[in-house]
Structure formats: structure tokens, C-alpha cells
Chains A and B, each alone.
Chain A
Amino acid sequence: MGTDKLAAKAAEAASSGDPFIFMFTVFVLAVFIGFFVVWSVTPALHSPLMSVTNAVSSVIIVGALIAAGPADMGFSKVMGFVAVILASVNIFGGFIVTNRMLAMFKKKPKKVEAAK
């Protein structure tokens, strides 16, 4: 039965206007954007890049919010609650540690530059 559905889905996807094709298009284009944006990151900032990507990937919290949102308590709500905690640790921790790192990157003081 599952394979029938899979086949139906594939047939559906072949026709235009399928939401999966739309999402997949977004996905592929985003991979290209990511490729170009990340190559332009200066190697000196690769550590902050990791921690900030870590923070933004916690946008997975939107899935957790939907799970934790219903009025009735249930297994999924508990799962959502735990996921909200985990993602929040990452969002706060990731952005703060990125900021701490970036705050340390300073240019040479002006005096020295002028003396050169």
C-alpha cells in the first residue's frame, strides 16, 4: 500500500504546482546561495561561522513550538517541550558565544598604522 502511495506521490510531483517540487526548488537554490556565501567568509572567522550556523540551525525550534502548542497534554507535547529546551540552549548559547568571539577581533590601533 505504501509503494502505491509513493508512486502516486511521484506522479503528482511530475505535474507542476506540486508543493514538494516547490520546496525542493527552494532547497536547491538555498544550497547554491550557501555555497557562495560561505566561500566568501574569511578563514579567520571560520570558528564564529560554525557557532552562528549552529545557532541558526536551531530554527528547528519552529517544529518544536508546533508540537508543544496544542492545548491537550500528550506524548508529542512532551517531545515538543524537550525540543524547545534543547533548541533554546543552542539559540541563546550559539548567538552569545558568536558575539563573544566577534567582539575580540580588533584591528591594529591607529597609531601603529600611522607610524608604519
Chain B
Amino acid sequence: MSESLTGFAYLAAAVCFILALRGLSSPESARRGTALGVIGMVIAIGTTLADPTVMSFELIIAGIIIGGLIGTVVALKIEMTALPQLVAAFHSLVGLAAVFVAAAAFFAPEAYGIGVLGNIQAASLIEMSLGAAIGAITFSGSLIAFGKLQGVLSGSPLVFPGQHALNALLGIALVAGVAWLVQTNSETAFWAVVVLSIIIGFTIILPIGGADMPVVVSMLNSYSGWAACGIGFTLSNTALIVTGALVGSSGAILSYIMCKGMNRSIFNVLLGGFGGEVAGPAAAGGGEAKAVKSGSGDDAAFIMKNASKVIIVPGYGMAVAQAQHALREMGDLLKAEGVDVSYAIHPVAGRMPGHMNVLLAEANVPYDEVFELEEINTEFSTADVAFVIGANDVTNPAAKTDPTSAIYGMPILEVENAGTVLFIKRSMASGYAGVDNELFFRDNTMMLFSDAKAMTESIVQALG
């Protein structure tokens, strides 16, 4: 293939990837978009295989078959509730692949036309080490995120004194490592950069709590894109540069949306240590004095059956309890009774952006009954019942009224404006932010103490 034809082919692949993302602007066009993404990938791989430097295909075919089989089996078997950890695991693979490609380019620069072993152009070395460093941080950071999401590692933030100083030192060491590599072309320097970056990935993500993982996963998504970009510069491959930039900005925007959903800065999230038992003692003291109204599944069924409008607010608790199917059944029964049922999703509900939407879709809830915070927040005042299942902090009015609260300023779903608020919760424990929710003690609130799935099923029974 001539050089300009190759260039055109990579451009076509890049355009396909742009259209793949563009398709996601609505569920109708989304699948067509994904198909274009697959076509783009086939074009990119085919073009590279047609390159004259690619002469032996045994290992390549073997690699694609092995990797393809693993990927296919995992993707078909995975439970939708486990999506966040799957995505984290996938990010770590992209990161690791970037490290390996950078290593391959470092030890066989001739194949990439960037110099000879031990004498690679400085610019290429910088690009390569950026790709390798960001890739390695993505790899180890995503491993930690995976561990926290999967429950292999404790979700609570791991903080130790001198942590920020350590990270700063590691960062300086990394920059020094890159400078050393560019100066000397040394193999040791290359591996030092990789190892330092892997350590940085661990130390950055470990102090961040489990419920902040939506931000972390989005951020690592972004990193995997920038790593691809770095490699793209090394290879002078426009498809890789464009795709990396797309993915990089996509992840960055998602992190921004998540942070805005919590009214916290990205630095506040990254510095870690958020959440925990800060408000513990005070909350317990105040809580005992106040009375809480609690009810059963029958009570909840009775209230909702006689309502004309019910808004359901799902949170991570619904995902943990796998209650989405029972919830949809409840919604169907209510609709059969003539009740108007809709769903309200907070931007940070769940463990990854859009997590709740996928779980509801999995349970066959039509997507046009599911609304984002801005779309539905004014509706609560006209709703008879707000049914909160496995969510807490995202409904807490303290975010609007109490400037001393840890969640002050965070946009909330204004369930307190509904006629009655039903809360399914296991206990009176405070949410992730460690803040007491005054809603529990209001007259028009009824607490349903149980596992989200068990309680929803008992409501379904009472309705049926």
C-alpha cells in the first residue's frame, strides 16, 4: 500500500471512531455507532497488517485469537452489576499494552523508523516515555480501582502520614527519570520510568474511597487515551493520535461531570481520604433522641397504590442487592393500578457514570421513563411518593441548608418535596459521606428497614 493510501485508511478509521462516539447521543443511533467503531478497528488493523514491515503473521493471529477469545467470554459472562470493575480491568489492559508497545519501540526502534537501538531521537524518547509512564499509571491505578470495586481491597480510603509528600517525591523522580532516559538512551532509565509510574499508580489511587471510584474510573479512562496518544506520536500514526485524544477528552469530561455531581474539585477527590466515620459520634447522639417512623412492605404498597405519581430514586444499594428486576416488577404493578411511575437518576449514583441507567435497562425499564437530575427535580413537588431505594447522600437536604456539612453544595434530588418519602435502607447508618440525613426523621418519611431486594419483593407481593 502506498504511503498516502495508508494515511487515508488511518484517517477513515479515525472518522469511524468519532462517529462511534457521536452515535451515543441517543439510544436509537448508538448501535449503528458501535458498528462503525468495529469497522474503524478492522480498517486500522488491516492497514497495519498490509504494512511491508509486518512479515510474519503466526504470532499476530495467535495473539488476536487468544485475546479475542478471552475478551469475548468475559464480555458475554459478566453481570451488569459488575460493569464498573470490568471497565477498570479493561483500562488496566490498555495501560499495560501501551507499556509493552513502548518497550517494543525502545528495543527495536528501527521497525518504527525512529532511530537505532541506543540512539533514538530525543523527541521520540519523550513521546515514548510519556506513553509508557501514563500507560503504567493507568495499569496499576486501574488494578487498585478494580480491587476496590470488586471488594478484593477495602473500599475505605487508605491514608498514611506523608502521603502527599511521597507522591510529590515520586512525581519529581519520574520527571528526572524521563530526563535521564532522553539524555542517555539507557535501558535502566526506561525501566526506571516504568517502575516508578507503576508505583505512582498505586499510591495515587489507594487513598481514594470506594464511592469515589466513578471519578477514578473516568479519570483512568482519560489516562488510557493519553497513553494511546503518546504511542501515536511515537509511531506518527494519526489514527492513534485522534483516538487517544477522543478517549482522553471523553474521560476528562466524565470526571468533570462526576465531580460537579458531588460539588467537589478533582483535586479534592484525588487527594483522597474522603468519607468515613467523621460524623459518627455526633450523628449517633442526635439520632437516638429523634423518632423515626418505620413501616412494612404492606404499608409501602398501600401508600403507593393510592398515589397518582411515584418517582423512584435508585442508588448503589439497589445495585448491591440486585433489586432492579423486582423494582421493575413493582413499577409495572403500579402502572397497572394507573400510577404514573418514573425514575430519577443522580449523576453520581452507582459506581460508574450511567451505571443506574444500564441496570434499569437490563431490567427492561424503558429508557424514556428514566430521567436525569435536571430533567426531573422540579417534578418531586407534584409527586405523591418518592421511593428511595439504596440511595442516601444524594437526597440529603443538608447539602442545601447546612454550610458545615461535608456534602454542602452538592446538587441533590429534592425528594423532600414529595408528599411522602419512602426510604429502603438496611439501617440508620449514615451514607458514604458520613453525614446524617435529617429526612429520616421527618413526619412524611417512612423508613423501610430491610435489604433492598427483599423489601421490594414484599411490596410486589402486597401489590399483586
Contact = CB atoms under 8 A, between A and B. Distances in A.
Interface in B332-372: 335, 345, 347, 352-355, 357-358, 361-362, 364, 366-370, 372
Interface residues of A, number: 87
19 contacts: A26-B238, A30-B14, A30-B245, A33-B245, A50-B354, A52-B24, A54-B94, A54-B221, A56-B21, A57-B224, A60-B228, A67-B104, A77-B104, A90-B90, A92-B72, A93-B70, A97-B83, A102-B31, A105-B30
Contacts of B368: 107-108
A56 B246 contact: yes
Nearest to B74: A93
Contacts of B97: 58, 60-61, 64, 83, 86-87, 90
B225 interface: yes
B135 to A, nearest CB: 9
Contact of B123 (A6, A57, A61, A105): A6
A46 B110 CA distance: 41
B352 to A, nearest CB: 6
Interface string A72-116: 001111011111111111111111111111111111110010000
* B contact face: mostly helix, strand, loop, or mixed: helix
Given A37-B21, A86-B67, A62 B239 contact: yes
Contact of A9 (B20, B123, B225): B123
B86 A97 contact: yes
Interface of A: 1-3, 5-6, 9, 19-20, 23, 26-27, 30-31, 33-35, 37-71, 74-77, 79-109, 112
B357 to A, nearest CB: 4
A20 B40 CA distance: 24
B430 to A, nearest CB: 27
B240 A60 contact: yes
A33 B250 CA distance: 10
B459 interface: no
A75 B143 CA distance: 26
Given A53-B225, A79-B101, A86-B97, A39 B243 contact: no
A59 B366 contact: no
A50 B13 contact: no
Contacts of A42: 24-27
A77 to B, nearest CB: 7
Interface of B: 13-14, 17-18, 20-22, 24-27, 30-31, 33-34, 37-38, 40-41, 44-45, 47-49, 51, 53-56, 59-60, 62-72, 74-76, 78, 80, 83, 86-87, 90-91, 93-94, 96-98, 100-101, 103-105, 107-108, 111-112, 121-123, 182-185, 217-218, 221, 224-225, 227-229, 231-251, 253-254, 257, 335, 345, 347, 352-355, 357-358, 361-362, 364, 366-370, 372
A93 B246 contact: no
Contacts of B68: 88-89, 91-92
Contacts of B105: 63, 67, 76
Contact of B101 (A35, A40, A63, A96): A63
A103 B240 CA distance: 28
A86 B86 CA distance: 14
Contacts of A82: 63, 100
